Amino acid sequence: MTTYDATPIDVLLVEDDPGDELMTREAFEDNKIGNTLHVVRDGEEALDFLYRRGGHAEAPRPDLILLDLNLPKYDGRQVLEKIKSDQDLSDIPVVVLTTSSAEEDILRSYKLHANAYVTKPVDLDQFIAAVRQIDDFFVQVVRLPRRPA
């Protein structure tokens, strides 16, 4: 087994379902690397976090975004479009993590430059395994852009 010198990262989870948030937290807590998981509950709060507005003025720049599509206020598609069209945010990898397996959602997400599209498994153990794989992949396998100074 290969050992990686992985540095913990800041992950922004954009998720309005408390159950899915809890399962995601569990997957992160059980993983060996101490990544920091920040959670926002709707599209408007996600943009406030990313632009450091309001109660998120001190928010760190996330290294990875896990984005649900079906959100209140602004849906995930609108948030994804905003992120990927903003020169200051577009290099942050975005993984769409959603219950939708609709082909039009998958196609639209990739056209909006999502870095990956993952359909949430219904089974608890499979859901946690999927989140762990995403976490492992983006921390141990791929190289993320360096944070701006």
Q: What is the pLDDT along the chain (149 residues), one digit of tens a residue?
A: 444 456 778 999 999 999 889 988 888 777 655 788 999 999 999 999 999 999 999 999 999 999 999 999 999 999 999 999 999 999 999 999 998 889 999 999 999 999 999 998 888 888 888 888 888 887 777 766 666 54
Domain locations along the chain:
8-139
The count of C-alpha atoms lying within 13 angstroms of the C-alpha of 76, restricted to the half-sphere facing its C-beta, is 28
Write the CATH number of the domain with boundaries 8-139: 3.40.50.2300
* Alpha carbon distance 88, 78 (integer Å): 17
Overall pTM > 0.85: yes
